[in-house]
Structure 1
Amino acid sequence: MPYNPERKKIIDIGVFIYFFNEEEISCLSKEEIDLSDLPKNPSPLFNYAQYLHILDIGAIEKATDAWMKNNFGFGLQNPHHPDDYSIKRMKKSLAQLPLPIQQGTKIINEEYPSIRAKNAMIDSLCKMFMRSALNLKYLILSPYDPDKDMPRSRIFIDNEPGLANLRKLKVRFYANLIDQHERRENLYDLLKLLPNVCNGLVQLDVNRIMVPNCVIAEILTGLIKSQPELTYCRFYKVYGDMNKLIGALPVHKLTSLVLDDLILSGLSLSSLSRSTRLEYLVFRKCRSLSIELIQPILKAPIKLKYLYLSDLPNDVLKAIIIKSSEALEQVSIKFRSEDISEGLETLVNHCQNITHLSLSAYNGPVDILSVISIISLLKHITHLKLSFANINIGDELENGFSKLQLEKLQYLELINFDIIHLKGYLSKCCSPLSTIIMDVIEESNLQIFLDFSRERNTLKWVGFDYIHPEKYLKVCQRINESADCHFQIFHAKQVRIREKYF
């Protein structure tokens, strides 16, 4: 039950109501919900709920709201006072639905708040999912309404198989409200009860949450301690005392740790000194991060293979890079512009086995020729992304790019670069490039790629970022026709390797 807010696509819950049992139908009847005005559609050939792998509670709320607006004419916009048209539509018969749903369903009371009708539908859906979703592996607790709690916790605990087979959990609520315990009573009840039915989590994402007191800290700590197989943990915008949470992590199992957009003053990472399997480490926008704070990680007997480091002090960056040494394979770093050359030299001196490198910078212009010169020393790179908002561009840049001799490079992404700067590189390129992504690609630039494709015969995908949506398909079609099947043009998001860590 995923919901993508960018694409505005919502699953139609109408395919699920055919599989409500008597208890779930009764839940709707008690709230006087009349489903009689639904269009007559063929019954689904199978129960879609059995095949759900991901369940997003916020998506259920969103989908239910949209479905009730479409079918009964009301939703969140006017939750307590449905209009006359809505009431009229809800008074029609149930003849178009299967007999089990017709039985026991009453006509809605004109004065009954529609918000309760919607909540009854959400409860019935969740009950049905808990008994039907045999393949449920990933639960997202993320409300559509920021001022609303989730459904009652017992719905998720008392129905089998429920959450027994859960492997991934994301708790994503609004930090400015989560500190008011009474507004999230059902959420915390579920987190307290979850260890009784699920002990097999391997991934946990604690996201936008306030830890304002010891009670809430104990609830989250208890959840973490009850998951001995936890290998991946992410803390994003978690405010308050995190020491108990970090201390509860199963450090001998943990392979991936993401600390994202946090204030780390007062935090102790001492338990991480016992880590033995940690390979994947993310420090992004972590305020108050210091050499002293990361000492347990530097002393731990671990081999870091993946790093994502952003907005960190230079000494911390260098220390973590040195710790990674020859084990490091993939790295994404956002440097201060004045530190980028020194940081890259540290990479070259200690991490010669890097295959994936992503670089960006802030706080001033970047000496791009120096960057290219240093990167060229990393001979195993297959994937390279450079994204600089401000670079020192001179007449020699086109020739400078030609010095980027990476014999294994397959993927190249250049953001905020002019395509003319790529021309010099492609003219002398010895790499088996199959994917190139730029900000803007015009039809007049096509010859640059055609020449390279005919010379090397490796180019398959070309992506670009900025284009008016209405022109996108026409431009792609026109350029693809001109490319004469040597390669294909797509929007960058279709060919980009995303640096996601959950």
Structure 2
Amino acid sequence: MSKEMQEKTIGFDSFPVEIIHDILRYLRKADMSTLYSCIRVNRNLCKLVIPYIWNNPMPNTYSLINLEIFINLFDEKDKNLLKNQYELDIDDTYQPLFNYTSYIKVLDPRGVRRAAFYWLKNYYVQKFPYSDIYVDFKNNPIIDIIEKSLLRIILKNSSKIENLILDFAEKYQDIPSCNIFLLKELQQGGEGGESNQSEQLSHGIREITKLSIMNPSLKRFDNIQEFLDLLPTICTNIKKIKFYDLFFIEPTMELKLCNVIKSQRNLTSINLTYNIFGLISVIRHQRNSLKKLVLRYIHHNDICLFNTFDQLINLEFLEINECFPINIILEPLIRANLKLVTLKIIDIEGIEGKYDLVESIIKSSGSTLKHLSLNIYVDLIEDKLPLSKLCPNLIHLDLKVSIRVIDEDDDIDVESKKQPTIFNYIDSLKHLKNLHLEFAFYVIGYFEEFDQYINFINFPSLRFISLKDQHYSSNFFKRWFEHFSTMFNKITFYIDSESDEYYFDPLDDFVQEMNDNGLSLVYTFDGYSNFVATDRILC
């Protein structure tokens, strides 16, 4: 066989396994339908794909899972109840090709209950197509049996549950007994010697590294309370904790969640949403290991509450989203002399009067800072150091630029000063690859010829740029295209579909004319216009 013929017969199996896994990880996030299609290619690829599909199979919205592949693993008692007492025609002889539960890494008990609920509804639709049988999601003994059986199987057979997601919303009622989560039923009444019990101890939720808790119920459910008491005693290797949408957290539950944080050996990430002040006070217990901190919608005036933030010297990622007053959070963080990689400060007030504090954190991070997101007022950065001097190694920059409402008595010459300010501020970032600028409150339209300054900025490494504004002008877009088409292969205009035809039609004609040059037009409904350039032309 010639060399040419041999090259033609090389199959997909010849790909390095590492590259295949990179592709499958991407498809797992972006295109599940293609991932399912990969199963049919051949047996070897099927074996590689199955763990990605079954990483987190339980539904968040309406979707069906073929529960028959699990039923043969149910306890005989549960199978008999379903078949004899509730008269379900279930096939417990089906033998699946894989032990699918061994691949599950994400456990969401609510998803398990939804899987049972949707399966039961579909079962009745198929068996009794003209019936109006009502399936109660909260109170249904059949769903209870299936849910508990599924949880037992997952917790017993999964090689390692990494991520536990708990939704305590009242609509879901209480969680199943914590004995299921801890596999106590198997340990106390199971068969086998000590080696078998030792093997079981490695399963369940003991080795989770991620914990998410949301939506605490207003009611006090016994199983939830008992579970939160036991959680810090059995899970001490959690790396990432996310508590969000905890609108109505009561003191007892807050204390239990504080114990969860304090009990972890090396917690690297904490994400807190809304006014859970007790949890903020215990962050200091993880000061040596904590690398990521996200605070959202925290409104509190107690300076002492945040004083210990000056101990968070190892932070690499900091996000502060609409917290008030922001200065009592920033001031202790300045004392920590942070070396951040990512800084995101999202404030509806545009960090008015607080920019000096933000600048101090940017300056202390210096060359380590790679990702920066800010809401700023144009006049507040007048005469400030440009980012190229503060953090020269930025790769990703996201700015929302606004204009303050200026009183007549304010000594601010808006017309003469503000046009070039924002571009002086961001110019000459040599490593910048991704730039997003959103101009709020008609910033572009407020200043004459504002768009022309874009021609003078120097970003030699830029791969993506997005310019977004509520003000619409076809001339702006045309000039931007003329400038950026010399640097980018693909340019798209995103235009509000309700824009005036007076502006709309000329731009539409221009896009048709330039279609061969990589220009396209997309209609949207958000009231904004958006200019996006991607795919840098490599010289």
The question of whether the paired residues in 1 share the 8 Å contact of 2:83 and 2:89 is answered with: no
- Alignment partner, residue 285 of structure 1: 322
Summarize deviations over 1:217-261 as a string: whole Å, max 9, x none.
32112111121111011001244544443343x111000000011
Distance 1:337 1:19 in 2: 65
Structure 1 length normalisation: TM-score? 0.71
What amino acid does structure 2 have at the position aligned with 1:466?
T
CA distance 1:396–1:288, change in 2 (3 Å) = closer
Corresponding position: 1:165 with 2:207:
yes
1:404 is aligned, of 443, 457, 460, to 457
Corresponding position: 1:261 with 2:303:
no
Deviation larger for 347-356 or 425-434: 425-434
- Alignment partner, residue 331 of structure 1: 372
Deviation larger for 278-287 or 354-363: 354-363
SS at match of 1:170: strand
**Higher relative contact order at CA 8 Å, sep ≥6: structure 1 or structure 2?**
1
SS at match of 1:233: strand
Distance 1:124 1:298 in 2: 52
1:353 is aligned, of 381, 393, 409, to 393
Distance 1:2 1:335 in 2: 42
Distance 1:28 1:316 in 2: 64
Distance 2:421 2:391 in 1: 18
1:71 is aligned, of 120, 123, 126, to 123
- Alignment partner, residue 241 of structure 2: 204
2:494 is aligned, of 439, 443, 450, to 439
1:58 is aligned, of 110, 120, 144, to 110
* Unmatched runs of 5 consecutive residues or more in structure 2: 1-55, 185-199, 406-413, 496-506, 527-531
Larger Rg: 2
1:387 is aligned, of 424, 438, 452, to 438
- Alignment partner, residue 19 of structure 2: none
- Alignment partner, residue 93 of structure 1: none
SS at match of 1:294: helix
Summarize deviations over 1:445-498 as a string: whole Å, max 9, x none.
265575479xxxxxxxx8957289xxxxxxxxxxxxxxxxxxxxxxx9xx99xx
Q: CA RMSD in A?
A: 4.0
Higher helix share: 2
Corresponding position: 1:427 with 2:455:
no
SS at match of 1:259: strand
CA distance 1:386–1:30, change in 2 (3 Å) = same
CA distance 1:114–1:147, change in 2 (3 Å) = closer
Instruction: Map 1:41-440 to 2 at 5 A.
Output: 43-73=95-125, 85=131, 115-142=140-167, 146=171, 148-158=173-183, 160=200, 161-174=203-216, 177-178=217-218, 180=219, 182-183=220-221, 185-209=222-246, 214-248=251-285, 250-266=286-302, 268-290=305-327, 292-311=328-347, 313-325=351-363, 326=366, 327-336=368-377, 339=380, 341-342=381-382, 345=385, 347-361=387-401, 370-389=421-440, 390-393=442-445, 396-416=449-469, 420-429=475-484, 433=488, 438-440=493-495
CA distance 1:385–1:59, change in 2 (3 Å) = same
Deviation larger for 394-403 or 251-260: 394-403
Q: Alpha-carbon deviation of 1:193?
A: 1.2
Identity %: 19
CA distance 1:370–1:343, change in 2 (3 Å) = closer
The question of whether the paired residues in 2 share the 8 Å contact of 1:55 and 1:136 is answered with: yes
Distance 1:437 1:28 in 2: 59
Q: Alpha-carbon deviation of 1:304?
A: 1.3
Distance 1:51 1:264 in 2: 43
CA distance 1:255–1:434, change in 2 (3 Å) = farther
Q: Alpha-carbon deviation of 1:147?
A: 5.3
Aligned length: 423
Distance 2:252 2:477 in 1: 57
CA distance 1:446–1:381, change in 2 (3 Å) = farther
* Unmatched runs of 5 consecutive residues or more in structure 1: 75-81, 91-110, 454-461, 469-491, 497-502
